[in-house]
């Protein structure tokens, strides 16, 4: 459930009418609802009740805005980070370093040093070579590095190929069949404290079955590792639970159903559980607010040219993702349209033949479920300003990232002396 609703015929974020934000900040603009973020964090925590004191490490990559991170940090969430940049953002926003998990397949020595010096819950290692490097860095800095291996369970997640991570030929983790040997190898490395096992098989999962299959394999592995003498106390089950994008499709499993499955599968593990949700927390807590520039005739349907483009919201171009498109002040009419942005690529198409609220030049529309992997993946392609972000809190709202305008983009470039 989210807090974007029609009130008196106008779409509001909590108690703020979206046209007020468009007027003040301009479009396109991302609008987040603080109450929705908080709600999602609490719903998940309640769904995980009875599992001890699990660490919920929000996947920062979904939405790294400082206001989002600070909101979640106050809810007691930790952070799953995949770069030195994300680590620094999380700490700067008030996330307790002791609740930070450092994931990612290409951690550098500098990133390892940063997290070792600032503190963290655990490194999720993805290869032996990485373990060896971390051992050296830990030794150099005189700190002990708490580690888990991310294992690749070879389970098909049943999601889009570009966001599947747990099949054998994906780049992620170590093959689960080689885990025994890998743990034996790192047990002897100085500076490492082996404490866990981690898994993450993909994103926007709409069935619990692949998750359950992966977790069962992890359970078996934990047993085997303990029998071999490794002190496995932590099981990081990753993220990946899908969110509803299209009300015309069956909704993905609820957090409650997910919690029930986890309770069933992990009972008796005697391990601290870690979760790394991203989309589940942030996805439906944001919309991308855009204005129709013009309506252009098309062969089959008119083109609704909006002022947001693929650089602002890449998901449709990258994953054929479906985002609900709604008028901010619907007047009851409907239309079938191709919704496109101004960027000079055919891929800059949000929807073809979409049945939607009628809209014309000057009208405001929103892309729903744009709180995760949306602003986070935006760029300035076509020399378009970087889209601003706003957070609403009840009747109050604030710009939480101003538009990075063209003057700033131009100023960031440098002419070499030979062109001066």
CA distance 239 to 248: 24
Smallest CA-to-CA distance from 316 within 357, 352, 266, 282 is with 352
* Window 270 to 329, contacts with ligand LLP (CB under 6 A): 276-280, 315, 319
* Closer to ligand LLP by Cβ: residue 210 or 239: 239
* Closer to ligand LLP by Cβ: residue 21 or 273: 273
Supply the minimum distance, in Å, between the C-beta of residue 238 and ligand LLP.
5
Collect all residues with Cβ–Cβ distance below 8 Å to 1 and sequence separation of at least 6.
36, 39, 284
* Closer to ligand LLP by Cβ: residue 168 or 184: 168
* Closer to ligand LLP by Cβ: residue 320 or 407: 320
* Residue 59 binds ligand LLP (CB under 6 A): yes
3-state secondary structure (DSSP) of residue 243? coil
Per the DSSP assignment, residues forming a β-bridge with 305 are 294, 340
What's the Cα-to-Cα distance from 47 to each of 42, 52, 165, 242, 304, rounded to whole Å?
A: 8, 12, 25, 15, 41
Please indicate whether residue 339 is annotated as part of the active site: no
Q: What does the DSSP 8-state code read for residue 68?
A: H
* Residue 154 binds ligand LLP (CB under 6 A): no
Residue 406 main-chain phi, psi, to 5 deg? -65, -35
* Residue 373 binds ligand LLP (CB under 6 A): yes
* Closer to ligand LLP by Cβ: residue 141 or 349: 349
How, if at all, do strands 325-327 and 303-306 pair? unpaired
- Total interface residues for ligand LLP by CB under 6 A: 19
Contact indicator for 56, 99 with CB cutoff of 8 Å: no
Write out the H or E segment, with its range, that includes residue 400: strand 396-401
* Window 61 to 80, contacts with ligand LLP (CB under 6 A): 62, 80
* Window 383 to 402, contacts with ligand LLP (CB under 6 A): none
Collect all residues with Cβ–Cβ distance below 8 Å to 266 and sequence separation of at least 6.
51, 215, 219, 235, 237, 273
* Closer to ligand LLP by Cβ: residue 80 or 130: 80
Supply the minimum distance, in Å, between the C-beta of residue 236 and ligand LLP.
9
Supply the minimum distance, in Å, between the C-beta of residue 204 and ligand LLP.
5
Supply the minimum distance, in Å, between the C-beta of residue 40 and ligand LLP.
11
* Residue 369 binds ligand LLP (CB under 6 A): no
SS3 for 186-248, per residue?
HHCCCCEEEEEEECCCECCECCCHHHHHHHHHHHHHHHHHHHCCCCCCEEECCCCECCCCCCC
CA distance 12 to 405: 26
Supply the minimum distance, in Å, between the C-beta of residue 408 and ligand LLP.
26
* Window 223 to 262, contacts with ligand LLP (CB under 6 A): 238-240
* Closer to ligand LLP by Cβ: residue 276 or 357: 276
Smallest CA-to-CA distance from 198 within 147, 260, 144, 132 is with 147
Catalytic residue among 344, 395, 410, 419: 344
* Closer to ligand LLP by Cβ: residue 106 or 402: 106
CA distance 339 to 310: 11
Residue among 33, 36, 164, 204 that touches ligand LLP (CB under 6 A): 204
Smallest CA-to-CA distance from 69 within 47, 41, 90, 100 is with 90
Angle at 293 between CA 287 and CA 298, to 5 degrees: 105
Supply the minimum distance, in Å, between the C-beta of residue 50 and ligand LLP.
21
Q: Which stretch binds ligand LLP (CB under 6 A): 92-100, 178-186, 196-204, 353-361?
A: 196-204
Supply the minimum distance, in Å, between the C-beta of residue 261 and ligand LLP.
15
* Window 96 to 115, contacts with ligand LLP (CB under 6 A): 103
Neighbours of 409 (CB within 10 A): 14
Supply the minimum distance, in Å, between the C-beta of residue 148 and ligand LLP.
12
Smallest CA-to-CA distance from 394 within 106, 38, 24, 65 is with 38
- Residues in contact with ligand LLP by CB under 6 A are 59, 62, 80, 103, 163, 200, 203-204, 238-240, 276-280, 315, 319, 373
- Catalytic residue ranges: 344
């Amino acid at each position: 459930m989210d807090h974007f609703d029609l009130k008196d015929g106008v779409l509001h974020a909590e108690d703020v009418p979206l046209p007020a934000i468009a007027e003040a900040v301009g479009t396109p603009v991302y609008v987040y609802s603080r109450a929705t973020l908080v709600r999602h964090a609490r719903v998940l925590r309640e769904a995980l009740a009875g599992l001890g004191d699990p660490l919920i490490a929000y996947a920062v990559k979904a939405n790294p805005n400082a206001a989002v991170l600070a909101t979640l940090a106050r809810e007691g969430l930790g952070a799953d980070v995949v770069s030195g940049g994300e680590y620094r953002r999380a700490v700067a926003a008030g996330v307790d370093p002791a609740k930070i998990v450092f994931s990612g397949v290409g951690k550098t020595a500098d990133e390892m040093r940063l997290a070792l010096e600032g503190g963290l819950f655990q490194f999720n290692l993805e290869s032996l070579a990485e373990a060896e490097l971390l051992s050296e860095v830990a030794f150099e800095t005189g700190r002990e590095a708490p580690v888990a291996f991310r294992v690749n369970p070879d389970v098909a997640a049943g999601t889009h190929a570009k966001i599947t991570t747990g099949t054998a030929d994906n780049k992620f983790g170590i093959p689960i069949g080689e885990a025994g040997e890998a743990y034996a190898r790192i047990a002897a490395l100085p500076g490492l404290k082996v404490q866990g096992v981690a898994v993450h098989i993909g994103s926007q999962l709409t069935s619990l079955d692949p998750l359950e299959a992966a977790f069962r394999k992890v359970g078996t592995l934990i047993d085997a590792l303990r029998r071999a003498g490794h002190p496995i106390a932590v099981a990081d089950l990753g993220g990946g639970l899908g969110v509803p994008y299209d009300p015309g499709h069956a909704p993905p499993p609820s957090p409650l159903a997910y919690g029930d499955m986890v309770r069933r599968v992990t009972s008796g593990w005697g391990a601290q559980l870690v979760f790394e949700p991203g989309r589940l927390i942030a996805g439906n807590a944001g919309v991308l607010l855009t204005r129709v520039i013009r309506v252009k005739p098309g062969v089959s349907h008119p083109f609704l040219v909006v002022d947001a483009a693929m650089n602002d919201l890449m998901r449709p171009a990258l994953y054929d993702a479906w985002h609900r498109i709604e008028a901010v002040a619907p007047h009851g009419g409907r239309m079938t349209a191709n919704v496109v942005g101004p960027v000079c690529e055919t891929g800059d198409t949000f929807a073809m033949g979409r049945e939607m609220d009628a809209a014309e030049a000057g009208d405001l529309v929103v892309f729903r479920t744009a709180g995760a992997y949306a602003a986070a993946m935006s760029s300035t392609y076509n020399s378009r300003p970087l889209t601003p972000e706003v957070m609403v809190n009840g009747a109050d709202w604030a710009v939480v990232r101003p538009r990075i305008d063209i003057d700033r983009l131009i100023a960031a470039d440098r002419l070499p002396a030979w062109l001066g």
